[in-house]
Amino acid sequence: MTIFNDREMAFEKKFVRDEETRFRALALRNKLFGQWAANQLGLTGDAADAYVEDIRNKVADRAGEEIVVSKVRDDLSASGRDVSEHQIRYRLTELLHDAITQVTSGGR
């Protein structure tokens, strides 16, 4: 039975590691996305930092992601920038890939 117990423990440890990596990558992606959106809006300094923090706090789960996509699209539209929802989602995907690379390579 110890072989099965050892194997189960190994799977559990891998699951925990994978979830931690996923969480860190999403947190970094959200930060990078907030920075991108703030840059698109022309925000700098404290205003940019506050905007990034607002985005990071809203994207806690998938439902939060939908809220953020709408918020950023509306904010960009209000500032005269014509960015589609597709472009915003594409940017989120690109930034997630960047974040995963950074987190898994230890470059965070």
Domain hosting 58: range is 2-104
pLDDT at 36: 95
The pLDDT of residue 67 is above 90: no
CA distances from 43 to 48, 52, 75, 100 (A): 5, 10, 12, 26
| Interatomic CA distance for residues 59 and 73, integer angstroms | 15
pLDDT at 107: 60
Q: What is the CATH classification number for the domain harbouring 66?
A: 1.10.790.20
Token pair 């559990």: residue: 12
Q: Which residue from 91, 100, 84, 27 is spatially nearest to 61, judged by alpha carbons?
A: 27
Token pair 């205003």: residue: 47
Q: How many domains does one find in the chain?
A: 1
Share of the chain above pLDDT 90, in %: 49
- Length of the chain equals 108
